[in-house]
């Protein structure tokens, strides 16, 4: 076995650094926790898809008036998004009762804007409350559901993979 040359050890260091970048990019997230609520019209009826930190959580209630159950208590004074689309009027309102800490979050659609609620743009995360982990980032979308979560920079992950492959190829060449 030949001793490792200086250039090979540099490539090994680059490969290790790239592996660290790739492994940490996939776990990047917003500060605190996230509540993403998607409303989809299926068969002429609104259906809710509430996600807590990327995991679908349960909800109950009739059309346009839902109660969402979260795994942890949150405090949301109230946020809203404007309805959009042809013939759409009103707001989507999201809150915990009295802004108090609760595992129950209320959501209404096609409703009047509640007094004191903060209006945020559709499809945009914004700080809407807090929990034991810090701030809660909220999003409401009437949109199509996203198909792939975007937890890290695709370009950085691709770059890290390419550097890793080049490093491995360089090590194999050096062994020969």
Please name which of 9, 8, 16 lies closest in space to residue 176, comparing C-alpha atoms.
8
Taking a C-beta distance cutoff of 8 angstroms, is the pair 136, 76 a contact?
Answer: yes
CA distance 35 to 58: 12
- pLDDT, tens digit (0-9, with 9 covering 90-100), for 45-100: 888 899 999 999 999 998 889 999 999 999 999 999 988 655 567 899 999 998 89
Q: 71-75, 81-85, 102-106, 120-124: which has the minimum mean pLDDT?
A: 81-85
According to the model, what pLDDT value does residue 22 have? 44
Q: In the structure, what pLDDT confidence band is assigned to residue 107 with cuts at 50, 70 and 90?
A: very high
Distance CA 69, CA 58 (A): 6
Residue length, the chain? 176
Work out the pLDDT band at 21, boundaries 50, 70, 90. very low
Summarize the confidence of residues 7-23 as an average pLDDT.
Answer: 51
For 14, 46, 63, 92, the CA distances from 42, given in Å and listed in that order, are 49, 6, 11, 18
For position 58, what pLDDT does the model report? 95
Which pLDDT band, with edges at 50, 70 and 90, does 25 fall under? very low
What are the percentages of helix, strand and coil residues in the chain, rounded to 5? 25, 40, 35
pTM: 0.63
3-class state of residue 175 by DSSP: helix
Are the CB atoms for 78 and 68 separated by under 8 Å?
Answer: no
Mean pLDDT, to the nearest integer, of 110-132? 90
At 142-171, the pLDDT tens digits run 766 665 555 556 666 777 778 887 877 777
What's the rounded mean pLDDT across residues 6-29?
48
Question: Beta strands 91-95 and 126-131: pairing type?
Answer: unpaired
pLDDT above 80: residue 176: no
Q: Mean pLDDT for the chain?
A: 78
């Amino acid at each position: 076995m030949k001793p490792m040359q200086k250039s090979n050890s540099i490539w090994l260091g680059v490969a290790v650094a790239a592996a660290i970048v790739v492994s940490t990019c996939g776990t990047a997230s917003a500060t605190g926790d996230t509540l993403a609520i998607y409303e989809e019209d299926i068969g002429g009826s609104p259906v809710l898809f509430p996600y807590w930190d990327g995991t679908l959580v349960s909800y109950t209630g009739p059309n346009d008036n839902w109660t969402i159950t979260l795994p942890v208590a949150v405090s949301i004074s109230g946020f809203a998004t404007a309805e959009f689309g042809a013939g759409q009027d009103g707001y989507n309102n999201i809150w915990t009762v009295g802004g108090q800490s609760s595992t129950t979050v209320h959501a209404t659609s096609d409703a009047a804007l509640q007094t004191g609620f903060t209006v945020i743009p559709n499809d945009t995360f914004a700080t809407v409350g807090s929990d034991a982990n810090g701030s809660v980032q909220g999003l409401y979308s009437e949109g199509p559901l996203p198909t792939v979560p975007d937890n890290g920079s695709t370009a950085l992950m691709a770059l890290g993979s390419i550097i890793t492959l080049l490093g491995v190829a360089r090590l194999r060449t050096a062994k020969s």
